[in-house]
Structure 1
Amino acid sequence: MSGADLVLRTASPEGTRAVGRALASLLQPGDLLVLAGDLGAGKTTFAQGVGQGLGVSDPVVSPTFTLVRQYRCGAGAPVRTLLHADLYRLDQLAEVLDLDLAELVEDQAAALVEWGDLASEVLGPEQVTLVLQPTADEDARELALWLPPSWAGRRDALVAALGGLGLLAAAGEER
């Protein structure tokens, strides 16, 4: 995971959710987070943490068969709507374009896109990319985070929040 802006290690699913909660507080309308990793890597677990951090009251579940789920965020959240998409079952980039995620996030929303790495070229350059990987410990995860230029002003706040959780393993030099 070399070249990542931040590398984190979590010891449990709750730790992965905690990373999602920390990142949620920094989201802004229009943000798009690409979640990558093998089956069972923790993408939906991370999304649950983001939902918790945004005050989503409904259970955040995998959108594998519905493709996109929308969740209303709680009062005081930095965005009104959390979009949660899953591209695993899509075969062509044209199908991703048909979802029109870019237009959906324009309306006070932020989006999490599981398996988004399969279509990152059509999702635009201003995406946060998070790669989750299991470790030798069944419950632990390593998370690598790449931040786009639009996050330059939020990077220090994210590092502070994650450092406070004791999850920050390393910070890359590339920004």
Structure 2
Amino acid sequence: MFEYTVASDAATQKVGAALGQLVQPGSVIFLQGDLGAGKTTFTKGLAAALGIQQYVKSPTFTLIREYTSGRLPLYHMDVYRLENGGGDELGLEEYFNGAGVSVVEWPQFIEDEWPDDYLQIEIKKVATNDQQRQLLFHPQGQRYEQLVAQLAQAL
């Protein structure tokens, strides 16, 4: 596990951008955190590093937003609405095994669909400072352990 603290939304985006420089085709990133923790803010930074110039917004009502104009396609998912199941009907494995980067908000609702290897990032608000966030990186699998090591070095 790697832990990193940021003091602003801009800093959250910078960490997302640093990760965006390192991701490869088929990368799967799970973002966990309360409402307003900064999951979409993190994704905006990652998207910018991929060269995506479109405005990135939460896919809460559409479930999946596809951005294909960057170095790699970005599949931004918000599966909060699948709290009662239904992820198997979306064909998520096609995204997870595809040529793009999958970023999933609220992944606990599709846990049965998780691939064997992934990077889980917990974003937690720091109680003493409304802008500060603690980012906890939990790599699953050698590929993501190496990715997190590279990220730690870059930060």
Please report the TM-score for the alignment, with normalisation by the length of structure 2. Answer: 0.92
Within 2, Cα distance between the matches of 1:40 and 1:153? 29
Aligned position for 2:118: 127
Paired residues, number: 153
Aligned position for 1:89: 81
1:26 to 18, 22, 27: 22
Q: Over aligned residues, Cα RMSD in angstroms?
A: 1.4
Ranked by relative contact order (alpha carbons within 8 Å, sequence separation 6 or more), the top structure is 1
Q: Which amino acid aligns with 1:25?
A: Q
Q: Does 1:155 align with 2:114?
A: no
In structure 1, stretches of 5+ residues that fail to align are 163-175
Within 2, Cα distance between the matches of 1:119 and 1:152? 22
Within 2, Cα distance between the matches of 1:36 and 1:155? 17
Contact 1:35/1:117 (<8 A) preserved: no
Within 1, Cα distance between the matches of 2:146 and 2:16? 19
Q: Which amino acid aligns with 1:88?
A: Y
1:33-70 deviation digits (Å, cap 9, x = unpaired)? 11001100000100111111111110110000000000
Give every structure 1 segment of 4 or more consecutive aligned residues whose post-TM-superposition deviation is greater than 6 Å: none
Cα distance, 1:19 vs structure 2: 0.7
In structure 2, stretches of 5+ residues that fail to align are none
**Percent identity of the aligned residues?**
34
Aligned position for 1:98: 89
Q: Which amino acid aligns with 1:45?
A: T
Within 2, Cα distance between the matches of 1:121 and 1:107? 18
Within 1, Cα distance between the matches of 2:58 and 2:113? 22
Cα distance, 1:153 vs structure 2: 3.3
